[in-house]
Structure 1
Amino acid sequence: MGKSGKTNNDSLNLQKVECWKVPVVWEMMGYLKIPKTEAPTEKEALVMAEKMIGSCEVPEDGEYLDDSMEIDSDVRDDIEAGDATLMVGKFPAADIVCG
């Protein structure tokens, strides 16, 4: 508690807010590293990458593709009630983001 009798949460205007968990999907872009010893040409590297796609891990250097987030239409009806989450400020509908 600070000198004013307020907690840090008060000064940040933190509130516990119940949220809905709406399923969303987004796209990312990254790179697969194909050794030139395994694929000497670009064409061979592409063929090898296509074979790896289903079995390799997601690249660590991935980046979010702008404007790619959308509601997951495959499970659109699977919205769940989420836990109460600490959030800052006031909550006009367009600004709410829950973790």
Structure 2
Amino acid sequence: MKNSDRTLLISLLTEAAAEMEKLGNNVTPWSRYDICQDLGAFIEKASRKLATGDEEDIKELWGIFVPTSDWDDSGGSVTLANKIFELLNKLYRDKILKKDE
């Protein structure tokens, strides 16, 4: 795993969290997050955890940024989501797709 890729991922997640925070109380249809602000708060928390090495939220982040999922339904930037999803796949694909034992 390249540290520069992980650093870029954390930076992009922080940007994504800010984007959702700006959308505030807009409803996020078909999502477990009621409003964009809730989605942004989760992404921000997950990015802070990832910065400390805690990868607990990787699968949830993947589910948020996979094409046509929570992020897209919430009106987020497609370009930003694609960059994040590409890095998640590059860095954590095996871990994400591994079945829980």
**TM-score computed with the length of structure 2 as normaliser:** 0.20
Q: Which has the higher contact order (CA 8 A, sep 6+)?
A: 1
Higher fraction of strand:
1
Larger Rg: 1
**TM-score computed with the length of structure 1 as normaliser:** 0.20
